[in-house]
Amino acid sequence: MRIVRLPGIHHDSNVVLVIGTAGSIIIDAGTSWYQALQLERIQGILEGNEGKELGIDRILLTSRRFPCSGGADFLSSQLGNCPIHIHREGQSALETGDFFTTWANRFDSDMPFTKTDIVEDGDVFALGDGQVCAMALPGHCSDSMAYYIPEKKLLITGQLLPRADRPTRWDMPTGCLPDIVSSLRAIKKLKLETVIPLQGPAIKGKSHVNEVLQRHIEFFEECVEREGRAPKSWSRPAQTALWLTPHPPWPLEEKEDIN
């Protein structure tokens, strides 16, 4: 099994390509802003896979939010009309082009009407030499999903973990602070070796992953004790931000390679 992270461009989420011996899956699609470039990147990976002709079986979304879902309809249309999957809580928002709960309006963008199929907690997508397991992890929004690859002890988290140094927001449509705590505790029990966050490089190493998750859990537990308030010293998030910005900054070991 081959896992390729295509780094997020500007506001885009990471786009993850999972290639197995019996199929390939895209996890998240980025915004609609760079969808043509995303398609070129994906096709370049598929064409360079040791001469084998590969297609995409499906697109799995971690949530309705525009930085993850905005490019899904275009990519599907260019990749054999492969099905797009989202948690049932987010299905209506995508199929009606809801620009509010998808947060597309904060990017001064329309939300493409996107036909979807439902993905449920516990769904398994077999790829021959590995599998992708769907996990419902609400908190940032009610339709938040993560995708676990047990053979690699790897989790693609979506907005639940925007980056090692960026805690997610719960004050956006359908967000729930106590659910964030429960979801983070659930993924900590997996004893992961690798986490691919919403943006930025993978967080690697069992000890380091555990340290990052514990920092986030403790922060959100403190927010629950403060009745849902972030620290007063922290700046208000930018309108497009899906995360909070700690002050002083949290540690960040992972650096994006721009070469």
Residue 203 belongs to a domain with what CATH number?
Answer: 3.60.15.10
Residue 157 has pLDDT above 90, yes or no: yes
Q: How far apart are CA 27 and CA 17, in angstroms?
A: 6
Query: Domain span at residue 179?
Result: 2-225
Find the length of the chain. 259
**Residue 167: inside a domain:** yes
Question: What average pLDDT is seen over the chain?
Answer: 95
Residue 5 has pLDDT above 50, yes or no: yes
pLDDT tier at 92, thresholds 50, 70, 90: very high
Adjacent-strand bridge partners of 178: none
pLDDT of residue 47: 84
Tokens of 216: 């986030």
**Residue 178: inside a domain:** yes
Mean pLDDT in residue range 225-229: 95
Tokens of 150: 């047990």
**Residue 192: inside a domain:** yes
Query: Residue 168, class by beta-carbon neighbours within 10 Å (0-12 exposed, 13-18 middle, 19+ buried)?
Result: buried
**Residue 169: inside a domain:** yes
**Residue 247: inside a domain:** no
Adjacent-strand bridge partners of 3: 18
Q: How far apart are CA 230 and CA 223, in angstroms?
A: 6
pLDDT of residue 236: 94
Q: How far apart are CA 12 and CA 7, in angstroms?
A: 8
**Residue 203: inside a domain:** yes
**Residue 175: inside a domain:** yes
pTM of the model: 0.96
**Residue 183: inside a domain:** yes
pLDDT of residue 259: 46
- The count of domains in the chain is 1
Please state, for a pLDDT cut of 90, what percent of the chain lies above it. Answer: 93
